[in-house]
A and B are shown apart, each in its own frame.
Chain A
Amino acid sequence: MTTTDDTAVETSVDTTTDIAARKAALRNRLKDKRGSNEAPARAGTAFSIAELREHQPAFRGLEAGHRACQGCGEALGARLVAESAGPDVILTNATGCLEIFTSPWPQSAWRVPWIHSLFENSAAIAAGVEAAMKHLGKSTKVIAQGGDGGTFDIGFQALSGMLERMHNVLYVCYDNEAYMNTGVQRSGSTPHAAATTTSPAGLERMGKRHLKKDLLSIIAAHHIPYAASASVAYPVDLRRKVRRAMEVEGPTFLQVHCPCPLGWGHESSVTVEVARLAVQTGLFPLVEFERGEVAGVMPLRNPKPVTDYLKLQNRFRHLFSNDPRAREEREHLQALADHTIEKFNLRGEEADPLDSEGADTVRRGGLVA
């Protein structure tokens, strides 16, 4: 459980959308507390806490103080999505970790209207909300949220229907590659060879026998205006993709790769590193589709070997045993990554194929070796 000095907000709170007023209130609170306008600077940092606060996004759709595990990638992903989407939204949420850790009644960590109904109908609820907005003549954007189980598997039909009917909904899948809320069971999104509680490694098995479903291609085959993958390790890229999707009038889809320290078996301090390696190895490519065609990829100048990624996580620990099948599966995963790199032409040396606002930033930030 995360501990922060913020407490979750009451279920029904009025959001102060006036940014200036909010900042002024914050300054006053700090002043009251410390008797001065300036908070003492933290040792070793150039910024005061107050300054840091000032630099934080003015609007936070998902507040701190929720009950996610430390280092939860899904919490980070949802915070980034909610803050980039802004206040004029209505969110739906499938059952799963995000829903549970943000809404223990009578508290809620959401500062935007939010509704949870069931595990498999987030997209259909969103379709209903959107139809209502249309009827009311409101422009409020609807965002449907679900985990990979709620998206790849049980909620897939409702999602496909929503996309086919062209509802003006952004669907965000927080992909942590298993049913985490029920204790790490395999889903259609679990990568090949990963161990979960229902795909354990043992004498007869090297973890999950099947491949990770290529959901993004299936979504893209609906020929919706925009579908993309993103990662919590690349927040600028993620924010850009959210904003881009928000601008589209019609269905859009984002698959956000979100490590789960509990389910993946890695330190909660390395969530971002693990997420970044998934991208850098080619196992989780960051791509954008427009109307079914690839419209942009984040290039990998120097792909890392998949073992760099695998070895950080307990779910792949059996792949490092002496069993000859372990090497085989490692090679299999490397081949899958190589295939993905080829398929999306990730290794391009030339200029980025298309839009690259986020990609550029990210590359400067560290992707290019």
Chain B
Amino acid sequence: MLSALEGSQALAQAVGLCRPGVVAAYPITPQTHIVENISKLVADGRLRCELVSVESEFSAASVALGAAASGVRAYTASSSQGILLMAEVLYNISGMRIPMVMTCANRAVGAPLNIWNDQQDSMAVRDSGWIQLYCADNQEAVDTTIQAFRIAERTEVPVMVCVDGFVLTHTLEPIDLPTQEQVDRFLPPYHFSRALDSRNPLSLGTCVDPSFFTEARHSQHQAVLRATTEIMAADRDYAGIIGRSGGGLLSVVGPAEADVAILALGSVCSTVQESMQLFPQDRPVKLIKLRAYRPFPMAALREVLQGVRDLVVLERAIAPGSGGIVGMEVRSLATTLTQLPRIHNYAVGLGGRDVPIEIYPRLVEAITRADEPAWFEIFDLEPEKLPVEDR
């Protein structure tokens, strides 16, 4: 049944449907509404879980770690400064192979202080060993959140569900929430094989010296790579029970044989998609919605990039001094294709700058006009605002 829900409200209900035992809550815009809504579910007796309102994001992640390690399904959510504050714990959770789920309501990272949406925060922790799934709309965010628990628990790799701040978290959309019975069928009760239990004492988080550290990292890398299988399986089983896919590793909109492609992550996919409908162009173009960024779905990407001559990679973040983050990875993957596409790497919508609905025709125009593909450019830069030397 469809109901009009704010993104955060829908996410809170989705988390509730997964029956978490412990939720750690700490406010930060634009994530706050999620933990507020969960708090209300608990206060109203609609969700039986321990809600721990911590004193920092560092403790939010730590509380979730402790709970998940004790055999209880755990969840937290954060954004921006909060994600960076918990960065040390994020590495710790994944390194210890603790399954848990976190929502990152994507927001720019200061300075300059900015509460609006881009994806610098989750990109800053892309190498923390977490699975990262990016959602194009709120329905996807709901479905991905529910799937995330199963993926995390089967792989013992934590999952970060990336949901664009404001654009999704604060937007009302018609959402179809699965029923409790459906979610229960999809998601079995939490079981953690290494749970802290006084009847079976284990030591977790021990010190590993050079004789084994390399192997521990190798196993972790393999586990995240192997998660591609689980992500696909979860999506398939979810579709079987609930009747809808969450977006797989990636999905393609438009003609599969198109030799122009736009690759993006998150809500900008929806903007581009709508723009494509509103402003059809002569050249056939396909949109690649990358849902799984970690693991980086190399095989699936290679398949959809085969035969592409012009590839636009859209970024919502920047690596100062280098350029595009996703672009760089796609570029290195593209070297393994039989035909190397021209890669145009653009950042758009940094710090909440609106991605205009004309984005699609503008991109097509830009790549058509370009003699040389843009190695990296900020697409919506307004140079006239800058001093001459910075333009």
Q: Chain B contacts of A13 at CB under 8 A?
A: 201
Chain B residues touching A, range: 35 or more
Q: Which of A13, A100, A158 has most chain B Cβ within 10 Å?
A: A158
Scan B14-25; emit 1 where CB is below 8 A from any A CB, else 0. Answer: 000000011010
Comparing B124-132, B202-210, B273-281, B337-345, the segment that makes contact with chain A is B202-210
The A interface is mostly helix, strand or loop, or mixed, namely mixed
Q: A108-B206, A114-B204, A120-B58 are in contact. Are A131 and B52 (CB under 8 A)?
A: yes
Judge if B335 is at the interface, Cβ distance under 8 Å. Answer: no
Per the bound structure, the CA–CA distance linking A208 and B205 in Å amounts to 34
A-B contact sample (9 more), CB < 8 A, given A116-B206, A117-B66, A132-B66: A14-B201, A112-B198, A113-B197, A125-B62, A126-B66, A127-B52, A128-B65, A129-B70, A132-B68
In chain A, what residue has the closest Cβ to B205? A116
Scan A330-349; emit 1 where CB is below 8 A from any B CB, else 0. Answer: 00000000000000000000
Scan B253-269; emit 1 where CB is below 8 A from any A CB, else 0. Answer: 00000000000000000
Q: Is the CB of A131 within 8 A of B67?
A: yes
Scan A66-109; emit 1 where CB is below 8 A from any B CB, else 0. Answer: 00000000000000000000011110110000011001111010
Cβ 8 A contact of A118, one of B55, B88, B204 = B88
Q: Is the CB of B50 within 8 A of A87?
A: no
Q: How far is the CB of A223 from chain B (nearest CB, A)?
A: 17
Q: Is the CB of A121 within 8 A of B50?
A: no
Kindly identify, within residues 320 to 348 of chain B, every residue whose CB is under 8 Å from any CB belonging to chain A: none
Per the bound structure, the CA–CA distance linking A129 and B66 in Å amounts to 5
The B interface is mostly helix, strand or loop, or mixed, namely mixed
Per the bound structure, the CA–CA distance linking A114 and B55 in Å amounts to 24
Judge if A217 is at the interface, Cβ distance under 8 Å. Answer: no
Q: Is the CB of B202 within 8 A of A11?
A: yes
Q: Chain B contacts of A313 at CB under 8 A?
A: none
Q: Which of B67, B70, B88 has most chain A Cβ within 10 Å?
A: B70
Q: Is the CB of B56 within 8 A of A125?
A: no
Kindly identify, within residues 45 to 86 of chain B, every residue whose CB is under 8 Å from any CB belonging to chain A: 49-50, 52-56, 58-59, 62-72, 74
In chain A, what residue has the closest Cβ to B52? A131
Per the bound structure, the CA–CA distance linking A99 and B63 in Å amounts to 19
Q: Chain B contacts of A135 at CB under 8 A?
A: 21-22, 49-50, 67, 72
Q: Is the CB of A115 within 8 A of B66?
A: yes
Kindly identify, within residues 127 to 150 of chain A, every residue whose CB is under 8 Å from any CB belonging to chain B: 127-136, 140
Per the bound structure, the CA–CA distance linking A104 and B205 in Å amounts to 10
Residues of A within 8 A of B (CB): 11-15, 87-90, 92-93, 99-100, 103-106, 108, 110-118, 120-121, 124-136, 140, 157-158, 160-161, 164-165
Per the bound structure, the CA–CA distance linking A57 and B63 in Å amounts to 33
Per the bound structure, the CA–CA distance linking A92 and B55 in Å amounts to 19
Q: Which of A14, A15, A115 has most chain B Cβ within 10 Å?
A: A115
Scan B199-226; emit 1 where CB is below 8 A from any A CB, else 0. Answer: 0111111111100100000000000000
Q: Is the CB of A161 within 8 A of B209?
A: no
Q: Is the CB of A104 within 8 A of B89?
A: no
Judge if B96 is at the interface, Cβ distance under 8 Å. Answer: yes
Q: Chain A contacts of B171 at CB under 8 A?
A: none
Q: Chain B contacts of A90 at CB under 8 A?
A: 70, 196, 198
Q: Is the CB of A12 within 8 A of B66?
A: no
In chain B, what residue has the closest Cβ to A87? B198
Q: A125-B62, A135-B50, A160-B55 are in contact. Are A118 and B92 (CB under 8 A)?
A: yes
Per the bound structure, the CA–CA distance linking A134 and B64 in Å amounts to 14
In chain A, what residue has the closest Cβ to B93? A117
Per the bound structure, the CA–CA distance linking A21 and B22 in Å amounts to 38
